[in-house]
Structure 1
Amino acid sequence: MAERKVTVAAEVGLHARPAATFVQTAVKAPMDITVSKGVGGTPINGKSILQILGLDVRQGEDIVIRAEGEGADEVLDQLAAIAGTP
Structure 2
Amino acid sequence: MPERTAIIASTLGLHARPATAFVEAAAACEDLEITIGREEEPADEAMDASSVLSLMSLGLEHGDRVVLRSESAGSEEALNHLVGLLQTNHDA
> TM-score scaled to structure 1, two decimals?
0.90
SS state at 1:35 partner: strand
Q: Which consecutive unaligned segments of at least 5 residues does structure 2 have?
A: none
1:14-29 equivalences in 2 (<5 Å): 14-29=14-29
The CA deviation at 1:43 is 0.3
Match for 1:34: what amino acid? T
Q: How does 1:4-19 map to 2 (within 5 A)?
A: 4-19=4-19
Name the Cα RMSD after superposition. 1.3
The C-alpha deviation readout for 1:29-64, integer Å capped at 9, x for no partner, is: 111110001233420110100010010000001000
Residue-pair matches, total: 85
User: Which structure has greater strand proportion?
Assistant: 1
Query: The residue matched to 1:50 in structure 2 has which SS?
Result: helix
Runs of 4+ in 1 over 3 A off after TM superposition: none
Aligned equivalent of 1:49, options 30, 35, 52: 52
The structure with the largest alpha-carbon Rg is 2
Consecutive unaligned residues of structure 1, counting only runs of 5 or more, are none
Q: In percent, how many aligned pairs have the same letter?
A: 33
Q: TM-score, normalised by structure 2?
A: 0.85
